[in-house]
Amino acid sequence: MNLQERLISRFLRYAAISTQSKPESRTVPSTPGQWDLAHLLMKDLAELGVTDISIDDHAVVIGRLQARLPEGHAPVPVVGWVAHMDTVDVSMSPDIHPVIIRNYQGGDICQNQEKQLYMSVEDHPELIKYIGQDIIVSDGTSVLGADNKAAIANLMVALEVLAENPDIPHGEIYICFVPDEEIGLCGAKSMDIRRFPVDFAYTIDCCEQGELVYQTFNAARAFVNITGVTAHPMSSKNHTVNPILIATDFINLLDRGETPEHTEKTEGYIWVTGIEGNQLTTVLKLQIRDHDRKKFLAKKEYLKACTEMMKLRHPKAVLSLDIQDDYSNIKDAITPENSICVDYLFQAMESLGIEVKDIAMRGGTDGSYLSTKGIPTPNYFTGAHNFHSRYEFMPMGAVENSCKTTLKLIELIANG
């Protein structure tokens, strides 16, 4: 089987197990399907020569491929790869039924004859780039889950190639599969980092061919807890304090130019994501995002100042601010000593003739969390498009190039 057919067959194998994560769940993993996939992946890793395979209470699977270097070869970095097992819940079916379009010849793609669901070239002109390639789409009732099963397939096929070609040297490699990335990087956060003793790692969790990400947001959540004073309206005058109105006053202190809808590239924002409560207690939920660490910290300070101001303005109310860090900009974890992990990515793509698209991502990856734990973890393309939508699709030429990038990284790292 050629590389593309291997990738298709691996992808179909993993897509067949429903692993949609559920944000409302209180367990990690959030859904039982992720356990099923984890166990299948453990079995597959073992068949591919990976040893020391273990799974923890949160279904985080880790395995190690022993180095295979010529006698007397200088030591090379220990490298990890991380992929997530869950697919995103965007209010569509958790079950995924991929449709393979062989040798795409242009024109609209019919995803689902029965339900008359199409992907049109008008809405998705990027399709034209892939004329002549095999393309995988969903049947229109779900996402495709190339995010991140294309990465799982990619890693398994790379391991297959290494297993079948004993002449290819490689350093020590760790493979890690985590659950629940889509619901706040919960899987990576639950992982015992001592199980993953690598010098640096990679995720394969962005889209189009060539995309390379080592700049992500710094991210935190903030909760403004407000308790007011309530009474029957007949005796309210000069007495009650309405926490819902305090929450709206708080929102009015925020810069309307620094919202997701008014920012782009590396500009940060404070996003009002919820206001829940009643006339006695209210919680205002906010998300803080900034690529720049100083500006990120300044946003936190501003929320503290707003809280203090609201306390002064409403002395009878009780306010508290709770800020929880979520993840950090990978770039802040890149130092002159470890920047080689990014250099390898540029080299790998350039030597394969892949045009690099260095992107400052307006989001985070598992790597954004791992980087805060001292493991610099840049991210590169799966080759797929339109993550988190029913129009997610995998052009197999690009997906193959992603797998070749993995193999090239392994080669470059082995060469030291």
Between residues 184 and 277, which has the closer beta carbon with respect to Zn ion?
Answer: 184
Q: Which H or E run contains 119?
A: strand 117-119
Token readout for 25 is: 């769940």
How many residues belong to the site for Zn ion (CB under 5 A)? 3
Cβ(59)–Cβ(209) below 8 Å = no
86 part of the active site:
yes
Point out the catalytic residue in the list 86, 182, 199, 332. Answer: 86
Between residues 147 and 290, which has the closer beta carbon with respect to Zn ion?
Answer: 147
Cβ(50)–Cβ(115) below 8 Å = no
Between residues 185 and 247, which has the closer beta carbon with respect to Zn ion?
Answer: 185
- CA atoms of 171 and 192, how far apart (whole Å): 23
- CA atoms of 406 and 412, how far apart (whole Å): 10
- CA atoms of 128 and 109, how far apart (whole Å): 11
Closest distance between Zn ion and the C-beta of residue 151, in Å?
8
What are the distances in angstroms from CA 27 to CA 58, 182, 186, 194, 316? 8, 14, 10, 22, 38
Between residues 147 and 392, which has the closer beta carbon with respect to Zn ion?
Answer: 147
Closest distance between Zn ion and the C-beta of residue 207, in Å?
10
- CA atoms of 73 and 214, how far apart (whole Å): 30
Between residues 213 and 247, which has the closer beta carbon with respect to Zn ion?
Answer: 213
Task: Write out the binding residues for Zn ion, residues 282-311 only, by CB under 5 A.
Answer: none
Between residues 365 and 401, which has the closer beta carbon with respect to Zn ion?
Answer: 365
Longest dimension (CA), the chain: 88
Closest distance between Zn ion and the C-beta of residue 84, in Å?
6
Cβ(390)–Cβ(142) below 8 Å = yes
Closest distance between Zn ion and the C-beta of residue 148, in Å?
4
Pick the closest to residue 296 from 213, 188, 205, 216 (CA basis). Answer: 216
Token readout for 248 is: 């709206």
Closest distance between Zn ion and the C-beta of residue 229, in Å?
45
Closest distance between Zn ion and the C-beta of residue 383, in Å?
13
Binding window for Zn ion (CB under 5 A); candidates: 10-18, 113-121, 200-208, 373-381:
200-208
Point out the catalytic residue in the list 139, 160, 180, 181. Answer: 181
Query: 3-state SS of the chain: helix, strand, coil percent to 5?
Result: 35, 25, 40
Between residues 148 and 242, which has the closer beta carbon with respect to Zn ion?
Answer: 148
Token readout for 413 is: 């790292």
Strands 211-215 and 357-360, bridge-based pairing = parallel
Draw the binding track, 136-175, toward Zn ion (x: CB under 5 A; -: no contact).
Answer: -----------xx---------------------------
Closest distance between Zn ion and the C-beta of residue 387, in Å?
7
Binding window for Zn ion (CB under 5 A); candidates: 23-31, 158-166, 172-180, 198-206:
198-206
Q: Which sign does the torsion angle of CA 238, 239, 244, 248 carry? A: positive
DSSP 232-251: -GGG-TTT-B-HHHHHHHHH
Residue where the block lists tokens 């193999």: 407
Binding window for Zn ion (CB under 5 A); candidates: 199-207, 221-229, 298-306, 373-381:
199-207
Binding window for Zn ion (CB under 5 A); candidates: 11-19, 92-100, 201-209, 277-285:
201-209
Task: Write out the binding residues for Zn ion, residues 96-125 only, by CB under 5 A.
Answer: none
- Among 44, 134, 205, 392, which residue sits at the site for Zn ion (rule: CB under 5 A)? 205
Task: Write out the binding residues for Zn ion, residues 331-390 only, by CB under 5 A.
Answer: none
Closest distance between Zn ion and the C-beta of residue 13, in Å?
19
Helices and strands in the chain: count of H runs, count of E runs: 9, 17
Between residues 135 and 143, which has the closer beta carbon with respect to Zn ion?
Answer: 143
Give a three-class secondary structure readout of 328-371.
CCHHHHCCCCCCHHHHHHHHHHHHCCCCCEEEECCCCCHHHHHH
205 part of the active site:
no
Q: Which residues bind Zn ion (CB under 5 A)?
A: 147-148, 205
Active centre residues (catalytic): 86, 181
